[in-house]
Chains A and B, each alone.
Chain A
Amino acid sequence: MEDLINSFFKTFIIDGRYKLFLTGIKNTIFIAFCATVIGIIIGLLIAVIRSSAKNNKKLSVLNAICNLYITIIRGTPVVVQLLIMYYTIFVNVDNSILVAIFTFGINSGAYVAEIARAGIESIDKGQMEAGLSLGLNQNKTMIFIILPQAIKNILPTLGNEFISLLKETAVAGYVPIIDLTKAGDIVRSRTFEPFFPLYFVAFSYLVMVIGLTAIQKRIERRLSESDRN
């Protein structure tokens, strides 16, 4: 028992190590949140381009670029993407957190694009026709009629994607960033006590994921207002 208390003190209290964990949690949430925003923007944009390209030959070059992007991003591990970004593409950028945000955002965008495209294509084509027949152009119909319905349909899948994204940021420590996992690593290497750092890190992720799931449920309930009979 005394060992346990001793270990707890070493992990959290001595040298103010709890601050390290707090920094880690803050960075993890910050990276995941910003990457999510970037992922949604990239993903929706690509999904719209890819599902419009079928009826519009002008978009075929753009469509090919999107396909290439998705193939490359989904075909390589995110850790490798992060290392490539940090050591070759953003060599001159000092802010490694920024590099991580871009990497995870661009990575997530590829997955969101596939999810969103399925969502857009699941909407009955009569909806697009109805919008067009009222004189709305294709973009306006997409924004006001198709996307709101598509996003509602894909929300559960999208939520899962962001939960995975949050957990994937655990590899951010491969470049000089103190994220949650890295914070645990640093403390463990100083105290030589693996128990508390590891379980605390796991527990923290768990709490964040449970929180995200609750938010997801809430949004879904709000959006399903129009389904109630």
Chain B
Amino acid sequence: MIEINNIRKNFGKKEVLKNVSLNIEKGEKVVIVGPSGSGKSTLLRCINLLETPTSGNINFEGQNITDKKTDINKMRQKMGMVFQHFNLFPHLTVMENITLAPIKLKLQTKEDAEKKAMQLLERIGLSDKKDEYPNKLSGGQKQRIAIVRSLAMNPDVMLFDEPTSALDPEMIGEVLNLMKELADEGMTMVVVTHEMGFAKGVGTRVIFMDDGQILEENTPQEFFTNPTNDRLKEFLSKILYNI
């Protein structure tokens, strides 16, 4: 579904992605972990071209999206993205946040878009917040609405860029639960996160990145119990401690 072929990305002189290749099949839940500055967020942001790779190409559903002739806006409609800082639109109500894109892109009528939005809001138990503005919501509520906003576009894949890193600890669970539900329904997901529990429990494949490269990829079971790369062993030993 997504084929990333030999992409490099430079920010000025600094090379943040060094010849990265990755294939993601439909239905996979790929979790990318690694230390800060390892390039994992950049890799994710390359998939929907929020960052343009310096070289290499990316195919999405058989289309080369790094080709200048490809209408990237059309491609992005099929790729939902959830950000660390939610990025809800503060000047719009919850309902308007969710329905803006489907309506303005003329994919649905206002009535249909609102009906669908209501179903999604009911699903996450926030239908009573539909007329509120985002600044009245808690972090966990904001992030769940951001997820729902992406879902309203009926994407084929969801990209998550550290979706729980900006949340208070007691709100992480509600967001992860919603993500797990999506995973159970068969959504293709690419998740950059520090939540190792999520990687272990929900991921179908876990990838370790450091210094702009993929150093190890494996099933969660093998990844956490039999890491082979030394850098990964060190990383895991630092974050998985027992009291």
Contacts and interface: CB of A to CB of B under 8 A. Distances in A.
B91 A134 contact: no
B87 A134 contact: no
A226 B79 contact: no
B155 to A, nearest CB: 9
A211 interface: no
Interface residues on A, range: 20 to 34
B50 interface: yes
A137 B101 CA distance: 10
Interface in B143-162: 146, 149-150, 153
A132 B90 CA distance: 16
B221 interface: no
A126 B100 contact: no
Interface string B52-90: 000000000000000000000110111111010101111
Contact of A134 (B74, B135, B149): B149
B76 A134 contact: yes
Chain A interface, DSSP helix/strand/loop, else mixed: helix
A135 B153 contact: yes
Contacts, number: 74
A135 B83 contact: no
B133 interface: yes
A226 B91 contact: yes
A27 interface: no
Contacts of A129: 50, 81, 83, 87
Contacts of B101: 131, 134-136
A135 to B, nearest CB: 3
Nearest to B48: A133
Contact of A133 (B50, B88, B90, B104): B50
A142 to B, nearest CB: 12
Interface in B21-51: 48, 50
Given A129-B83, A135-B105, A145-B89, A229 B50 contact: no
Contacts of A126: 83, 85, 87
Contact of A144 (B79, B80, B90, B104): B104
Contacts of B149: 134
A152 to B, nearest CB: 7
A144 B80 CA distance: 19
A133 B76 contact: yes
A127 B87 CA distance: 6
Given A140-B104, A226-B90, A133 B73 contact: no
A148 B91 contact: yes
Contact of B89 (A127, A140, A229): A127
Contacts of B238: none
Q: Which 7 A-B residue pairs are closest in the complex by CB-CB distance?
A: A135-B77, A130-B87, A133-B81, A134-B101, A126-B87, A226-B133, A135-B76
Interface of A: 124, 126-127, 129-137, 140, 144-145, 148-149, 152, 225-229
30 contacts: A124-B87, A126-B83, A129-B50, A129-B87, A130-B81, A130-B87, A132-B50, A133-B48, A133-B50, A133-B76, A133-B80, A134-B77, A134-B149, A134-B153, A135-B74, A135-B76, A135-B105, A135-B153, A136-B100, A136-B101, A136-B104, A136-B105, A144-B104, A145-B100, A149-B91, A152-B91, A226-B91, A226-B93, A226-B135, A229-B135
Given A126-B85, A144-B104, A226-B93, 15 more contacts: A124-B87, A129-B81, A130-B89, A130-B146, A132-B50, A133-B83, A134-B149, A135-B76, A145-B100, A149-B89, A226-B92, A226-B133, A227-B133, A227-B135, A228-B133
